[in-house]
């Protein structure tokens, strides 16, 4: 199993550009999440999904959009990038198996800089 994969690993955007951060998991997990990590701030939940076709906002959704057309994929879209979106973005997933209930598995992250 590859687990949770994310692409790209690094990206530099200009203000106002848009991009999509890709996330995929091969563990057949229903739940998927997008977080951003800023120094000293921990992880902030951007969006999450409880299954294909179902998404909802987290703590910091402004400036982002998501979709979940399949169980495996959960892309994060940035529209009109702003310097405040400079961060490291982590995708995670979790399943309903009782042995790992609520345990989140993380991808390697995408480091995004907006200039």
Contacts to other proteins by CB under 8 A: 31, 35, 40-43, 45, 48, 50, 58, 90, 92, 94, 101-104, 106-109
Name which of 51, 45, 38 is nearest 88 in CA terms.
Answer: 38
Nearer to other proteins, 48 or 64 (CB): 48
Determine the 3-state secondary structure of 18 from DSSP: coil
Vertex 60: Cα angle to 45 and 93 (nearest 5): 20
Nearer to other proteins, 26 or 79 (CB): 26
Smallest distance, Å, CB 16 to other proteins?
A: 29
Tokens at 89, concatenated: 């973005």
Smallest distance, Å, CB 72 to other proteins?
A: 17
Nearer to other proteins, 79 or 103 (CB): 103
Smallest distance, Å, CB 11 to other proteins?
A: 16
Rounded Cα–Cα distance for residues 74 and 93 (Å): 10
Rounded Cα–Cα distance for residues 15 and 40 (Å): 24
Nearer to other proteins, 14 or 40 (CB): 40
């Amino acid at each position: 199993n590859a687990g949770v994969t994310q692409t790209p690993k690094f990206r530099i955007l200009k203000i106002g550009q848009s991009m999509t951060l890709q996330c995929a998991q091969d563990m057949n997990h229903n739940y998927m999440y997008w977080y951003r990590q800023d120094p000293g701030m921990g992880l902030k939940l951007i969006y999450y999904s409880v299954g294909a076709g179902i998404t909802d906002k987290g703590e910091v959704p402004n400036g982002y959009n998501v979709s979940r057309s399949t169980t495996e994929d959960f892309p994060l879209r940035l529209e009109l990038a702003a310097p405040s979106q400079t961060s490291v973005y982590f995708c995670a997933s979790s399943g309903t198996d009782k042995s790992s209930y609520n345990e989140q598995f993380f991808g390697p992250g995408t480091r995004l800089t907006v200039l």
